[in-house]
A = this chain, B = another copy of it.
Amino acid sequence: MATEAQTPPHLTPLQLKDEDNKEADKQRKLTASGPSPDPLAANYGEVPLEELQSKEVTGRIWTEVRALTEELKDQKVLVRGRAQTVRAVSKKMAFLVLREKGSTVQCVLLVAPDLVSLGMVKFANGLSRESYVDVEGTVSVPSSPIKGASQQVEIQVRKLYCISKAVPTLPINIEDAARSEVEIDKALQAGEQLVRVNQDTRLNFRVLDLRTPCNQAIFRVQCQVESIFRQFLLSEGFVGIHTPKLIAGSSEGGSAVFRLEYKGQPACLAQSPQLHKQMAICGDFGRVFEVGPVFRAEDSFTHKHLCEFTGLDVEMEIKEHYSEVMDIVDRLFVALFDSLNKRCQKDLEAIGKQYPFQHLKYLRETLRLTFQEGVELLKEDGIEIDPLGDLNTESEKKLGKLVLEKYGTEFYILHRYPLAVRPFYNMPCSDDQTYSNSFDVFMRGEEIISGAQRIHEPDLLTTRAIACGIDVKMISTYVDSFRYGAPPHGGFGVGLERVVMLFCGLNNIRKTTLFPRDPIRIAP
């Protein structure tokens, strides 16, 4: 990146170009000045908006905060970031902690003749938290470690300009939003009551909340999950596709969909790309995947349900058996977990600092149990569940615990589910029609993936739709897709935000969603 410079050249200050020095002085309304005119007044102050309207390209080079290391000792640097905190030591000295993308550096303002004036220190002290500033100065290396910042160097400030002022009183302070529960409890034991920012306040002021090191890390990890997902599938011959979200009628023939009027026709938002990704298989793409929004108008107020989330969907031809789909799940997720642990170490640390978690336990080859084996495991532990029903959240949790004890993994596949609890398009087993060629995948005791072999034969698909109470007329285009020759195929779907939530042991899907939508929240 152009802003990372190992050897910053001599810096031309924004306000001290010889040719327009006087003009600049006139234009600038400097808010801070001493009792007598400050000869260093041009070295600090608020930058008027017009200077920020793409006035000119100066060629100046900015250094990123995270790039500030001992190697830059004694060099001049120009840094842009937020005034996270300003601490006045005296009239003559102040510390400014500058933050950029979660990294912080301590900037020192100490009055010195011809370098730093009382006016500049006063200006620094008057900066509101979270204001955007440009700092110019020299890198120094203090003799003792710096506690209040991520970078172990300081900047001896020579110039300080505010380019965007924050309101004086913020609805939430980043320090408060970044605090862990452990810290709050510890302080409480010492008799100090620290501010705890609740989830709703965080979401109301998401642009502030997102600035914490933990949130910066969460969304960088999320980006990595998607990238690894894509890279793995591309390397396996999958084609990335985009299916429509605007659907005639109601997708998958039922339940809680968002309805709308589409140019006079009734329409709804896709609850999943299921039908269209299968149509892409009928269209000869062989193996496809999609990353895109999924809409569910369900009234779920749980920690893991939202009305809109990002679906990672896969569909593929199979030659013989739905285990071919489970093979992809196995290799994809082992590769994903390995990569995250390797590539995202710093981000995972930042998340753990606010929300401590244990690294996910997973096997080199993912454990596969049949649903019946799962029922047996629960039975052995004294829990009776309907062998032809589904697992509820409680039995999922319990089974997760039993599997962890017995097999040492928090990630496993449960397959061959009872047909009755699966969608109509799941293929029944050949040897026993009460079961289906389907699977769910669990992570830390919660379901994250649902997959199956699909019915590729139009007559059986129609029969199953009717048996499930679906209006066949509504899905005729879908059923017809299989009348022109269709290969056996299967696939699965997984929620991007759930993968991040469960990998990082977080307790709420809202923490891993940039701007969450639940039954009562549609803003910001």
Contact flag A3-B319 (CB < 8 Å), given A167-B484, A239-B223, A241-B219:
yes
Q: Do A522 and B242 have beta carbons less than 8 Å apart?
A: no
Q: Do A488 and B284 have beta carbons less than 8 Å apart?
A: no
Instruction: State the oligomeric state as a number of copies.
Output: 2
Of chain B, the residue at the smallest CB distance from A518 is B263
A236 at the interface (CB under 8 A from B): yes
Within 8 A of B (CB), among A457-496: 457, 460, 477-478, 481-488, 496
Within 8 A of B (CB), among A187-216: 205-211, 215-216
Question: Taking the nearest CB of chain B, how far is it from the CB of A28, in angstroms?
Answer: 14
Within 8 A of B (CB), among A33-69: 49-58, 60, 62
Return chain B residues, CB-CB under 8 Å to A92: none
A16 at the interface (CB under 8 A from B): no
Contact of A437 among B54, B211, B245, B286 (CB under 8 A): B54
A164 at the interface (CB under 8 A from B): yes
Q: Do A247 and B522 have beta carbons less than 8 Å apart?
A: yes
Question: Taking the nearest CB of chain B, how far is it from the CB of A77, in angstroms?
Answer: 14
Contact flag A207-B484 (CB < 8 Å), given A320-B56, A514-B243, A522-B265:
yes
Question: Taking the nearest CB of chain B, how far is it from the CB of A97, in angstroms?
Answer: 14
A280 at the interface (CB under 8 A from B): yes
Q: Do B227 and A320 have beta carbons less than 8 Å apart?
A: no
A248 at the interface (CB under 8 A from B): yes
Return chain B residues, CB-CB under 8 Å to A83: 485
A165 at the interface (CB under 8 A from B): yes
Q: Do B1 and A210 have beta carbons less than 8 Å apart?
A: no
A428 at the interface (CB under 8 A from B): yes
Which one of A167, A230, A522 has the highest number of Cβ atoms from chain B below 10 Å of its Cβ?
A522
Q: Do A245 and B293 have beta carbons less than 8 Å apart?
A: yes
Contact flag A485-B130 (CB < 8 Å), given A245-B308, A320-B58, A437-B54:
yes
A114-122, A137-145, A254-262, A395-403: which one contacts chain B?
A254-262
Q: Do B54 and A211 have beta carbons less than 8 Å apart?
A: no
A240 at the interface (CB under 8 A from B): yes
Q: Do A132 and B80 have beta carbons less than 8 Å apart?
A: no
A517 to B49, CA, bound (A): 43
Chain A interface bracket (under 10, 10 to 19, 20 to 34, 35 or more): 35 or more
A209 to B517, CA, bound (A): 37
Q: Do A242 and B285 have beta carbons less than 8 Å apart?
A: no
Question: Taking the nearest CB of chain B, how far is it from the CB of A395, in angstroms?
Answer: 26
A323 at the interface (CB under 8 A from B): yes
Contact flag A460-B260 (CB < 8 Å), given A55-B430, A166-B483, A483-B167:
no
Contact flag A515-B279 (CB < 8 Å), given A132-B485, A292-B293, A453-B53:
yes
Q: Do B284 and A101 have beta carbons less than 8 Å apart?
A: yes
Of chain B, the residue at the smallest CB distance from A278 is B207
A285 to B130, CA, bound (A): 14
A524 at the interface (CB under 8 A from B): yes
1/0 per position for A388-407, CB-CB distance to B under 8 A?
00000000000000000000
Within 8 A of B (CB), among A266-325: 267, 269, 276, 279-280, 282-286, 291-293, 295, 297, 299, 307-308, 310, 317-323
A446 to B76, CA, bound (A): 46
Q: Do B242 and A485 have beta carbons less than 8 Å apart?
A: no
Q: Do B430 and A285 have beta carbons less than 8 Å apart?
A: no
Within 8 A of B (CB), among A72-130: 80, 82-83, 99-102, 128, 130
A430 to B55, CA, bound (A): 6
Q: Do B57 and A321 have beta carbons less than 8 Å apart?
A: yes
Within 8 A of B (CB), among A123-177: 128, 130-132, 163-167, 170
Contact of A165 among B82, B227, B485 (CB under 8 A): B485
Can you list 13 contacts pairing A with B, beta carbon distance less than 8 Å?
A49-B457, A49-B460, A53-B428, A56-B320, A62-B319, A100-B284, A216-B285, A223-B239, A244-B514, A245-B295, A262-B307, A263-B520, A481-B524
Known: A54-B320, A100-B284. 14 other contacts (CB 8 A): A53-B453, A54-B318, A54-B427, A80-B317, A101-B285, A102-B284, A132-B486, A164-B487, A166-B483, A210-B285, A215-B283, A227-B240, A258-B260, A279-B524
